Amino acid sequence: MPIFPEMAELLATLSQKYIIAPISGQKYDQFLIQIINNLPESANLDNFHLFVAQGTQYYAHKAGEWKQVFNYALTDEQANAIMGALEKAAKELGHWDESVLLPGDEINENRESMIAYSAIGQKAGVEAKQAWDPDMTKRNEIAKLASQYAPEFEFEVAGTTTINGFVPGQNKEFGMNHLMEELNVTKEEILYFGDMTQPGGNDYPVVQMGIETITVRDWKETAAILKAIIAMEEA
């Protein structure tokens, strides 16, 4: 879902002074569709750094275009093993239904450096996604079973309907360590926003790193905090 105009304006304002580094399980195209393409012209794109697929891929804006800096891609064998485990676990638990997908959508998506299981597809509406597994019970069960079928990989709950499957250790801690290295910043210089900061959530590894983290429920809560930060800077 594209960011709202209010959030786009806030990010553009902050980009005049701060580095903004979204880190998400989403693929690169979605970073552009949901964030970058909705920013006003005033945004300083050189201060935006995109850490895709939990930070296993990194894109920087250089000389007027986005360039991939690194990509820790899965092998075909690894990708097939993760997708197979997720599909088998989801079917066994009754959470694999391709009939609910919108045209062109899929349940398992290969994001090159990780696999994302999205129970009702990526294109489903926000309300439908939020209603599917609000307490994460379904996804925790799928992730637990998938890890038994493919114990050489990690499976982690993310977003509202998603489970990420990836090479062990390549979670958001991996991404944040690379972020700090690439951008030459320390933990103390980072303020992290996340909605899955509880144990088992894909933001929890960042909390464990000791990085200052603000848990938010939605974009409106995030926007309110960003407004307060801007107000303090202008005071």
Prediction pTM value? 0.90
Residue ranges at the known binding site: 111, 195
Where does CATH 3.30.1240.20 sit in the chain? 76-166
Residue ranges at the known binding site for alpha-D-mannose 1-phosphate: 111
Per-residue model confidence (pLDDT) at position 234: 78
- What lies within 8 Å, CB to CB, of 109 at 6+ separation is 27, 115, 116, 118, 122
Where does CATH 3.40.50.1000 sit in the chain? 5-72+170-234
Tokens found for residue 218: 């939605």
Residue 222, number of CB atoms within 10 A of its CB: 18
Residue ranges at the known binding site for Mg(2+): 195
Q: Count the alpha carbons within 13 Å of 33 in the hemisphere toward its beta carbon.
A: 7
CA distances from 113 to 72, 75, 138 (A): 6, 9, 24
Please give the CATH architecture assigned to the domain spanning 76-166. Answer: 2-Layer Sandwich (3.30)
Per-residue model confidence (pLDDT) at position 233: 80
CATH class name, domain 5-72+170-234: alpha beta
User: Which residues pair with residue 68 across a beta bridge?
Assistant: 59
pLDDT per position as a tens digit, 187-214: 999 999 999 999 988 899 999 999 999 9
